[in-house]
């Protein structure tokens, strides 16, 4: 059968988002539901991919199908495209499988030309020329990449000349002049006349939407949201309805619930006598949707009804576009609405309470990248009490951020490369700013409403954002906040939850989990089979994780305890020791400090399991680098600077990642492992004596084992000492000795190791490094070009490579469970907090995932998802 590339709205439905794109599929679904949707057709994502397969040519087959569908649309609308008799105008809209708001392009009023404008003018002159000027400008922008400013300049002179406030107030005569001047501008910038042939307009616009799939901002957005490049975009071609026809006309966007707070109310903005772009572009200050209720109560009520209906139908909060043409309401788009973390959690709970969705659906509905924002800091209340805001604006996206002012996205990138936190301050943002927005901690704009580009994108990123602050005037190299001048690099703080801007830096604090969020987590735990542990090195961090619901500690990195100022000297003494005696003296200085740390940890975790990893990094990492520190150490050790430098040089390795580290250290210097064993077991004994009912569960983890003989060598020593200490103390301690699986060889030989080890914990950072043969620290540079070239899609260090590294994990689990079916297996790499990696760990039958404290809630929810 011949492949179909183009579908009428009436041929599609919501399930077809892969080929119709989200926008197209929902327009089709709403058509099916008999909602008032202007009709049209969708050129599929498959047509887009075909276009790219043919190196940028729309095939004749597809062109023919487009024309054929246009003929059908003419029949449906009883209007004629490319004709002077009852002309049909259309919009050409982009839409991929995942919604990418503002990333790609739209052309409105397509089909207009000089003659068609004359015909339309017979009915409504103003409409004809207002629509025509919009078409010329959008077409120039979308199809030829002409900067909007060329047209804005023309508009500004004409607005001045006719002494009106904005383009909305222009007379017909003035609008005609705009059209003429726009055509000249078009010709000057594009070097050809504005195309008068509607069919040509149509094909060029479709091609441009295809092309916009690969514009820089779309590529960046996809990378950020992990959307595959191969999906392609669909193109919807839809009959125009006119919100700019004069009285009884309006256009706007609205959410079925408040996207900032989650309150159940129609929430949005609109303009009378305008076209959609005016509202979203942030160029005109829109009205609150509640004002529509006063002026057009009937249409408002109808919209409210449709909004409720769509929520029930889609089981989610909706973000809708509407246009009222001559008192008739049309719905132009619906999709799941972007929302703040607070709103997301409240809405999920409310929808469950209202019986619209199940608990499972509530869990699935959350955008985890945004929920993450909920777990991030707010300004300390005490800090706020003593200072006054210097400006205020609309609280577009909550969260607190302090940083240095940057006035361009480029500057944000520059600062961020130097590791300096920034607040991006702009007149308004545009899609070109997206990278700068992502790299900044917060965004502050002078213009725009709650649905402006800055607001929508910031909410999507879960970033602090304030928009439309009229206290601000933004210039090229400085910003005026009220009467005070600020420059790039000056420190400010913004609170996206209240809309207040402050001078200087303000201390932040984390927020407590609210009841609604706790419900979600509890429901998640009911569904999840795996447990969530945490990676934490101090009792303080562990407590944070426990508060977030961690059920154990999957990784305590003991070297972090070595680095602190009061102990690093003893560690260095140990490294510089030339014989075992000296080394033991140095270790005996470290012992009480480590034991103390472990006691604190045991008191915090109580009966929960806690996995303690033995010293792992190469020793040179502990050595001083500055001359001053080296001299100091020389004095303490009564050695010459020369000798110390020699030792440091001798510790140097060409590939430290693959050098003398992990269990290899302890095999060379068993005293280190024995000291750590003593510290752990003695701490456990002391704490057990203190807290009678608790049976502590320390899990001793030997890192970087590649051969069972390595494990056996150390495990035997560890157990001998531990058992002796326990026997002498007379209390019982349930300790185990296991290993970290982080070498490909360990995966392959997992059965041999499992016979000896009590547990496995996958160290997926090293396992990824060792499997790929490049290190995370060195790969940054060339991986960037790999992504650009499409050689790799994802960063294997943030999302587990399931096909390579994942296969090794499967092999290891398989072989281990064959010899020891109940062996406890978990993962403690960074991947333990990544939802997509978690889905994989779940599928291979691990017992737990372990992640950093702040990721614990995200991991709990991820484990409950499909
Ligand atoms: P985006 O993805 O950037 O929102 P859209 O394709 O939704 O782009 O269109 C941009 C604006 O144009 C929206 O406000 C929309 O309502 C308006 N618009 C699109 N198609 C039509 C149409 N057929 N009639 C009237 N307005 C339209
Ligand atoms: Mg668009
Ligand atoms: Mg839209």
Mean pLDDT of the chain: 92
Residue ID of nearest Cα to ligand 1 atom 22? 240
Q: What is the pLDDT of residues 787-809, one digit of tens each?
A: 888 898 888 988 999 999 999 99
Q: What is the pLDDT of residues 287-330, one digit of tens each?
A: 999 999 999 999 999 999 999 999 999 999 999 999 999 999 99
Cβ neighbours of residue 769 under 8 Å, at least 6 residues apart?
657, 775, 776
- Please give the number of the atom of ligand 1 that sits closest to the Cα of 102: 3
* Nearest C-alpha neighbor of 775 from the set 581, 618, 579, 593: 618
Q: Is the confidence at residue 560, as pLDDT, over 90?
A: no
Residue pair 135/110 in contact by the 8 Å Cβ criterion: yes
Cβ neighbours of residue 123 under 8 Å, at least 6 residues apart?
none
For ligand 3, the distance from its centroid to the CA atom of residue 442, given in whole angstroms, is 25
Residue ID of nearest Cα to ligand 1 atom 23? 240
Query: How many other CB atoms sit within 10 Å of the CB of residue 727?
Result: 8
Known catalytic residue: 453?
yes
Q: Is the confidence at residue 563, as pLDDT, over 80?
A: no
Beta bridge partners of 333: 321
Report the pLDDT value the prediction gives residue 276, as an integer from 0 to 100. Answer: 86
Report the pLDDT value the prediction gives residue 424, as an integer from 0 to 100. Answer: 97
Report the alpha-carbon distance of residue 189 to residue 542 in Å, rounded: 62
For ligand 2, the distance from its centroid to the CA atom of residue 24, given in whole angstroms, is 13
Identify the band that residue 566 occupies on the pLDDT scale cut at 50, 70 and 90.
low
Handedness of CA 32, 33, 39, 43 (dihedral sign): negative
Identify the band that residue 656 occupies on the pLDDT scale cut at 50, 70 and 90.
confident
Exactly one of 48, 249, 376, 453 is catalytic; name it.
Answer: 453
Residue ID of nearest Cα to ligand 1 atom 20? 91
**Which ligand sits closest to the CA of 240?**
1
For ligand 2, the distance from its centroid to the CA atom of residue 281, given in whole angstroms, is 10
Identify the band that residue 629 occupies on the pLDDT scale cut at 50, 70 and 90.
confident
Q: What is the pLDDT of residues 58-86, one digit of tens each?
A: 999 999 999 999 999 999 999 999 888 89
DSSP state of 762: E
In angstroms, the Cα distances linking 706 to 662, 663, 736 are 10, 9, 19
Cβ neighbours of residue 580 under 8 Å, at least 6 residues apart?
671
Exposure string for 837-865, b = 16+ CB within 10 A, e = fewer: bbebbbebebbbbbbbbbbbbbbbbbbbb
Report the alpha-carbon distance of residue 402 to residue 298 in Å, rounded: 46
For ligand 3, the distance from its centroid to the CA atom of residue 333, given in whole angstroms, is 6
Q: What is the pLDDT of residues 244-282, one digit of tens each?
A: 998 999 999 999 999 988 999 999 999 999 998 888 776
Give the binding-site residues of ligand 1, using a 6 Å CB cut-off: 38, 91, 93, 101-102, 106, 108, 238-241, 275-277, 280, 321, 323, 332-333
Q: What is the dihedral of CA 593, 599, 601, 606, to 10 degrees?
A: 170
- Please give the number of the atom of ligand 1 that sits closest to the Cα of 332: 16
Tokens of 763: 């160290």
Q: What is the pLDDT of residues 497-519, one digit of tens each?
A: 889 999 999 988 766 668 899 99
Residue ID of nearest Cα to ligand 1 atom 3? 102
For ligand 1, the distance from its centroid to the CA atom of residue 170, given in whole angstroms, is 23
Cβ neighbours of residue 196 under 8 Å, at least 6 residues apart?
113, 114, 115
- Please give the number of the atom of ligand 1 that sits closest to the Cα of 90: 23
Exactly one of 376, 828, 831, 851 is catalytic; name it.
Answer: 828
Tokens of 832: 């333990």
Task: Assign residue 841 a region (left: φ > 0; alpha: ψ between -120 and 50; beta: otherwise).
Answer: alpha
Helix boundaries (H) for 652-775: 663-668, 670-690, 708-729, 744-748, 750-756, 764-772
Reduced to 3 states (helix: H, G, I; strand: E, B; else coil), residue 360 is helix
Task: Assign residue 222 a region (left: φ > 0; alpha: ψ between -120 and 50; beta: otherwise).
Answer: alpha
Known catalytic residue: 828?
yes
Report the pLDDT value the prediction gives residue 102, as an integer from 0 to 100. Answer: 67
């Amino acid at each position: 059968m011949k492949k179909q590339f183009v579908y009428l709205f009436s041929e599609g439905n919501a399930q077809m988002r892969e080929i119709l794109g989200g926008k197209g599929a929902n327009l089709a679904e709403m058509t099916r539901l008999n909602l008032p949707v202007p009709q049209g057709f969708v050129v599929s994502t498959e047509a887009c991919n075909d276009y790219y397969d043919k190196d940028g040519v729309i095939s004749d087959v597809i062109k023919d199908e487009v024309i054929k569908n246009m003929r059908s649309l003419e029949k449906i609308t009883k209007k004629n495209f490319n004709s002077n008799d009852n002309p049909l105008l259309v919009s050409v809209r982009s839409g991929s499988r995942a919604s990418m708001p503002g990333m790609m392009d739209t052309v409105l009023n397509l089909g207009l030309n000089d003659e068609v404008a004359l015909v339309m003018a017979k009915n409504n002159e103003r409409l004809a020329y207002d629509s025509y000027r919009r078409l010329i400008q959008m077409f120039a922008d979308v199809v030829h990449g002409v900067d909007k400013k060329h047209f804005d300049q023309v508009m500004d002179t004409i607005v001045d000349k006719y002494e009106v406030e904005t383009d909305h107030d222009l007379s017909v005569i003035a609008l005609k002049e705009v059209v003429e001047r726009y055509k000249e501008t078009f010709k000057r910038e594009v070097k050809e006349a504005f195309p008068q042939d509607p069919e040509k307009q149509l094909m060029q616009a479709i091609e441009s939407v295809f092309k916009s799939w690969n514009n820089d901002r779309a590529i960046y957005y996809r990378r950020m949201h992990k959307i595959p490049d191969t999906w392609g975009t669909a193109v919807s071609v839809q009959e125009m309805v006119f919100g700019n026809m004069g009285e009884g006309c309006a256009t706007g966007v609205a959410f079925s619930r408040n996207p900032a707070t989650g309150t159940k109310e129609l929430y949005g903005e609109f303009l009378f006598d305008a076209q959609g772009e005016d509202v979203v572009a942030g160029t005109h200050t829109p009205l609150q949707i509640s004002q529509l209720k006063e002026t057009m109560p009937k249409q408002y009520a109808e919209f409210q009804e449709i909004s409720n209906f769509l929520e029930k139908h889609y089981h989610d909060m909706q973000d809708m576009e509407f246009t009222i043409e001559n008192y008739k309401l049309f719905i132009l788009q619906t999709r799941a609405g972007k929302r703040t973390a607070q709103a997301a959690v409240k809405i999920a709970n409310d929808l469950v309470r209202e019986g619209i969705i199940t608990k499972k659906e509530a869990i699935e509905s959350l955008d985890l990248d945004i929920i993450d924002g909920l777990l991030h800091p707010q300004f300390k209340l005490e800090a706020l009490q003593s200072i006054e805001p210097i400006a205020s604006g609309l609280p577009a996206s909550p969260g607190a951020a302090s940083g240095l002012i940057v006035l361009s996205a480029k500057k944000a990138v520059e600062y961020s490369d130097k590791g300096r936190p920034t607040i991006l301050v702009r007149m308004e943002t545009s899609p070109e700013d997206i990278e700068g927005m992502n790299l900044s901690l917060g965004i502050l704009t002078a213009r725009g409403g709650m649905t402006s580009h800055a607001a929508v994108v910031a909410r999507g990123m879960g970033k602090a954002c304030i928009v439309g602050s009229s206290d601000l005037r933004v210039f090229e190299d400085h910003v005026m906040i009220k009467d005070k001048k600020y420059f790039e690099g000056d420190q400010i703080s913004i609170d996206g939850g209240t809309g207040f801007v402050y001078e200087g830096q303000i201390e932040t604090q984390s927020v407590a989990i609210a009841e609604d969020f706790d419900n979600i987590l509890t429901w998640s735990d009911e569904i999840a089979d795996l447990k969530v542990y945490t990676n934490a090195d101090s009792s303080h961090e562990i407590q944070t994780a426990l508060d977030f619901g961690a059920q154990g500690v999957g990784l305590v990195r003991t070297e972090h305890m070595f680095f602190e100022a009061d102990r690093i000297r003893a560690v260095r003494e140990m490294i510089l020791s030339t014989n075992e005696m000296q080394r033991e003296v140095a270790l005996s200085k470290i012992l009480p400090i480590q034991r103390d740390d472990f006691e604190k940890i045991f008191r915090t975790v109580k009966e929960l399991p806690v996995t303690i990893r033995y010293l792992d990094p190469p020793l040179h990492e502990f050595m001083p680098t500055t001359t001053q520190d080296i001299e100091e150490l020389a004095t303490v050790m009564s050695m010459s600077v020369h000798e110390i430098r020699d030792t440091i040089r001798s510790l140097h390795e060409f590939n430290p990642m693959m050098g003398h580290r992990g269990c290899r250290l302890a095999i060379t210097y068993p005293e280190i492992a024995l000291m750590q064993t003593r510290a752990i077991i003695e701490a456990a004994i002391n704490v057990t004596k203190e807290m009678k009912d608790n049976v502590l569960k320390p899990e001793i983890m030997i890192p970087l084992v590649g051969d069972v003989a390595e494990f056996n060598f150390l495990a035997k020593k560890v157990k001998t000492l531990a058992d002796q200490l326990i026997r002498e103390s007379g209390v019982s301690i349930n300790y185990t000795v296991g290993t970290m699986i982080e070498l490909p060889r360990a995966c392959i030989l997992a059965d041999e190791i499992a016979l000896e080890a009590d547990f496995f914990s996958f160290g997926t950072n090293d396992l990824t490094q060792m499997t790929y043969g490049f290190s995370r620290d060195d790969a940054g540079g060339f991986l960037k070009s790999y992504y650009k070239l499409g050689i790799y899609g994802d960063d294997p260090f943030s999302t587990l490579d399931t096909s390579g590294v994942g296969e090794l994990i499967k092999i290891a689990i398989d072989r281990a469970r064959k010899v020891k079916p109940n062996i406890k297996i978990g993962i403690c790499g960074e991947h333990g907090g990544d939802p997509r990696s978690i889905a994989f760990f779940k599928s291979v039958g691990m017992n737990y995932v372990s992640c950093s404290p702040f990721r614990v809630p995200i991991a709990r929810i991820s484990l409950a998802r499909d």
